[in-house]
A and B are shown apart, each in its own frame.
Chain A
Amino acid sequence: MKKVIEYLKQYRFRMTIGLIIKIIGTVMDLAIPLILSYIIDKIVPTKDVNKIIIVGSLMIVCSIVGLVGSISANQMASKVAQLVTTDLRHDLFEKIETLSAKQVDEVTVPSLVSRMSSDTYNVHQMIGMSQRIGVRAPILLIGGIIVTLTLDPILTLVLLSVLPLVVFVIYYISKKGLPLFTKVELAIDDFVRVIRENITGIRVIKALSKEEYERNRFDKINKKLVDYELSSQKTMIKLNPMINIFLNIGMVAVIVVGAYRVNGGKVLSGKVLAFITYFTIILNAMLSIARIFIVFSKAAASAERISYIMDLKSDLPIENTNDNIISDDYIVFDNVSFSYNKNKEKNISHLSFSLKKGGRLGIIGPTGAGKSTIINLLMRFYDVDEGKIYIDGKNIKEYDFETLHKKFGVVFQNDMIFSTDIQDNINLSRGLTEEEITEASKVSQSYDFIMGCANGFNTELSERGANLSGGQRQRLLITRALANRPEILILDDATSALDYKTESYLRKGLKEKYSDTTSIIVAQRVSSIRDCDKIIIIDEGNILGIGNHEELMEKVKEYREIYQLQTGGGLDE
């Protein structure tokens, strides 16, 4: 909440003016019943019709001033809400962009997304509403009580005696209701998850004839959700009838006590009428406060979740220790160890290797061996636990992230294809020229299929590239990686869906057109990495061997096995 208030601070001036206008408008609302009772008690007995009309017109003027005041104050409130929300969303998104991979892992992507969408929405609602009704309701409440006190203190006491009951009802119901709403939210999450799982896994479900099972599973969740919704709404629908009964009992009490006061000559009958009107105003104000209370507690939780992200400290600081080495090698891993979980065994242990500029490195090894981890460390998505990594003689911790990442063109495993057109997906807002993109697409063997698409490079792609085949996706991603002629090219299992023929054309193109690019290729097929200058075979974070294909064939048993297995026992060399 503190964070949100900080954002509001810069609009202090606007908000103060809005507040003043709002107060004026609200005071007008309060004045009307007062004038009403004045007319009835003071003017009607004089039988002066002209005076009735003059004072009566004052009521209309008050209504108009109230209208104009409230509208302009509300509009100012919306403006503030708009400005604050824009700032808040901008800052939150900018912050999310700077989060380290580790922090993203911890918070999880779905949670970040919901903080970005529903939490900022809740805060937006709260800012607008608290200015609109949050100001008006308390003024009406306090103003109403003050006016009634001046009219008749005894009747005010009667009126106020009902308020604690109303406060209690609102408190009781929101206290009971709010946790139930949280339960509903959680049940909705489950509900949506099961639907999503069923749609994405529909083939498997049909193949295994699990439709009946899934229907039963869904029924349970549906039942649970309906039960929660029912119990939360059951609580909430008590509110209106109960408040109505209290309101009317209070009115009856005012009439009865008013009867005694009038009879005793303490009060004029017109005031009883005014009282009844104030009574409605005060109770409605109470109801509004209750509503704000609910919105507010929801928004407070959201503000908390937003602040949590905003307050995260960067855990990958840029260091200035001048840690340079003099070496011919472009990339150097010096005794690097790393684990994703501090208490778990190492994912990479004591890894050392180096690669010359323009050199090609292949990495091969079983699933979970640590191949992608090497990439994550080189691009500094995670920091090493031990050891050092150098690029161009400089410790990677010395580079700012933009300089560091600009060196790379990379295709990750399951890399992201965005729902925009092919051109944008390759360009990624890097301002590449058409020639650069076309050339890269030719090398990546995607030019032909792109030109075969309905609108060529302007063909729109669906989310995650669902309208492309696996091999087309990979080739598109490779185009993206090549297009800005990176210093370092990384292909992490990026050719697994390509047939051998296409892949060999790709390799040929890389060799001819990108000979000065340092490349790192992670693959399962020996053929993908066979002609690399250097190949690392890795298992469980340990290097089993480094060398070129021939050397590894000679020295490393595991490598020889992989090769023989893949080529059917070296049947046709």
Chain B
Amino acid sequence: MNRRVNPSGKQEKPKNIRYVLKRLWDYLSYFKFLLIISLVLMVLSNAFSLIGPKLSGLAIDAIELGEGKVNFPVVFKYTILMIIFYIFSGIFSYILSIIMLKMSKKIVFKLRKDAFDKITKLPISYFDSNKTGDIISKMNYDIDTINTSLSSDLIQILTSIITVVGSLIMMITISPILVLVFAITIPISLFFTRYMLRKTKKMFSKKSSTLGELNAFSEEMITGLKTIKAYSSEKMVLSRFDNHNEEATRWAYLAEYYSSYTGPGVNFVNNLSLSLICILGAVLSVISNFSLGKISSFILYSRKFSGPINEVANIFTDLQSSLAAAERVFSLIDAAPESSDSYDALELENIKGNVSLKNVYFSYQENGKMILNNVSFEALEGKTVAIVGKTGGGKTTIVNLLMRFYDINKGEILLDNNNIYKIKRNKLREAYAMVLQDTWLFEGSVYENLSYGKKDAILDEVIKAAKACKIHGFIEKLPNGYDTILKDGGVNISKGQKQLLTIARAMLLDANMLILDEATSNVDTQTEVQIQLAMKELIKNKTCFIIAHRLSTIQNADLILVVDEGEIVERGNHQELLFKHGYYYELYNAQFS
């Protein structure tokens, strides 16, 4: 089975094995019945195949009698039995694999589903501290590792145990003296295995981590190729690439160098036991009545016996990495979700849109620097509130709190006189239409992207919104108009055009309140004005929050809040603030200087 390569090369020891096993059992225990059946099948399949060599030995004994003396009925009897046993063993092992495969796929499906469900339920703060690539690699590589373990490693381990025990018993029944051969070869195998395990463990984790670094480096550089060219840094970047490259291939070489012992080593141990069995067997047959058939079955059993012993190292590493993978997966699945709505949470309908913040304090980190300090203001139904100020002053934070993306540390936020923490989260968020600084579009048609927030939007409505946002013309020019699929590197689309699309998406919503966070920063002024005209109609009775640098955007706001260092330093309308000759006045005049 193909294991996916984890580019980040994370391969740690699991820290809390008992917890991880318990969580894995939660998933496995759905299939208790199937597990018992598989266990029975496994024992049967291995037992049947273990009888084979014994039978072939008996058949060969019947041949050994020599020219003209071969006992054919006995040969046929045992060969037919062999075929029957092998076919049954094959069928059992096939059924077993199918059962295990289906079971592991069901578990994988469930694991992925649970992990994704969790992603949609996590608080935004989770994504501040966990990298996208890391979450993806948990869902992709780590779950895949668990899958491989369940569908093949598990079978392999149990099969190995049964085979080792079974063939040892069979060998003892054939000749306890020949078993002594293993007193020589097993210590060699074990010593070799331990040595390899110690040597290669570091190599392999180094190999995947350096490869991960190389891949990350080239991804970043290829993405920034234009910048690299513009600064003629190609040569320097290439030499940095070479360092990563040499490091990665060096560790790959070292890992392969040491693991190149494994194949020949296993082979050597096999050949050595074969030679020793042959010598000892031949001597035995000279001095006692030891038959050729017995030597033959013994050889076949010895191969079965030493196989798993040589594999111990691999199985052990596999198991360790699966447990580590499982631990990472469960750290995602078991992460604390957004607190659930309380049972008496309000299903607020007919929201009017009176929002007020009362003495709100907030910090992104526990015990960290306060980002908002005692912020209070009131946004009345149908009015427009603008928030201006320096970058990093806390403007976007206010939006995050209104939407309950983060919970405040102290104070109160009210919507229509209800504390927003007592309102159903969905109802609260649905009350807002929001356009953010970062434009987010998904891979899908233009139509799907625009109608994303309104399930049953018909094309006419979508076109109307697009026209109002002055993006209809652009869409019409795309290869398939509204059915054009938007994807990375596909359609040539500028940042401003993306912003227009997200504004159109927000326009289609039936929300009573509107948040525009730098929604038009990359849109030209004429277009912006036209959008504002279109919006005027739209926002007539809606409460609006606007964040913008371009002061022309906000001049008509009913209330302008000037935020600096987490505090509201000035408030009033445009005229009042200009008259004050304060911070806002300076900001305003800076655009004419």
Contact = CB atoms under 8 A, between A and B. Distances in A.
B440 A204 contact: yes
Nearest to B282: A52
A256 B429 CA distance: 79
Contact of B139 (A195, A219, A470): A195
A255 B264 contact: no
A412 B227 contact: yes
A10 interface: no
Contacts of A277: 274, 299
Interface in B386-402: 388-392
B222 A96 contact: yes
Contacts, number: 485
A264 to B, nearest CB: 7
A53 B283 contact: yes
Contacts of B390: 471, 499, 501-502
B368 to A, nearest CB: 13
Q: Which 10 A-B pairs have the closest CB atoms?
A: A367-B496, A471-B391, A429-B236, A416-B224, A56-B279, A500-B590, A74-B260, A70-B264, A59-B275, A108-B489
Q: Which of B225, B230, B436, B500 has the most CB of A within 10 A?
A: B230
A242 B226 CA distance: 54
B590 A269 contact: no
Contacts of A429: 233, 236-237, 240
20 contacts: A63-B272, A81-B253, A82-B252, A86-B246, A97-B237, A109-B225, A110-B489, A222-B113, A244-B49, A248-B83, A249-B83, A262-B66, A263-B67, A273-B299, A276-B56, A277-B274, A277-B299, A496-B521, A501-B590, A504-B593
Given A89-B245, A252-B83, A259-B63, A198 B489 contact: no
Interface stretch (A113-121, A157-165, A383-391): A113-121
Interface stretch (B69-77, B308-316, B318-326): B69-77
A408 B226 CA distance: 13
B442 interface: yes
B105 A230 contact: yes
A192 B140 contact: yes
Contact of B295 (A132, A273, A401, A504): A273
Interface of A, helix, strand, loop or mixed by DSSP: helix
B160 to A, nearest CB: 15
Q: Which of A93, A132, A567 has the most CB of B within 10 A?
A: A93
A222 B143 CA distance: 12
Interface stretch (A233-241, A320-328, A329-337, A350-358): A233-241
Given A108-B489, A215-B116, A251-B56, A196 B136 contact: yes
A206 interface: yes
Nearest to A92: B218
B105 A241 contact: no
A429 B221 CA distance: 13
Interface residues of A, number: 178
Given A56-B278, A265-B67, A500 B551 contact: yes
A248 B63 contact: no
B112 interface: yes
A498 B389 CA distance: 10
A409 to B, nearest CB: 8
Interface stretch (A144-152, A435-443, A558-566): A558-566
A25 B264 contact: yes
A395 B66 CA distance: 95
A199 interface: yes
Interface string B278-318: 11001101110000100110011001000000000000000
A293 interface: no
Interface residues on B, range: 35 or more
B572 interface: no
Contacts of A248: 52, 82-83, 86
A527 B549 CA distance: 12
A199 B426 CA distance: 18
A32 B271 contact: yes
Interface stretch (B18-26, B118-126, B344-352): B118-126
Contacts of B222: 96, 109, 112-113, 116
Contacts of A5: none
A214 interface: yes
Contacts of B524: 364-367, 369, 524, 562
Given A32-B275, A109-B489, A230-B102, A470 B229 contact: no
B523 interface: yes
A59 B117 contact: no
Contact of A372 (B69, B271, B494): B494
A189 B253 CA distance: 29
A255 B79 contact: yes
B220 interface: yes
Contacts of B238: 90, 93-94, 97
Nearest to A59: B275
B282 A43 contact: yes
B261 interface: yes
B571 interface: no
Contacts of A367: 494-497, 500, 522-524, 527
B367 interface: no
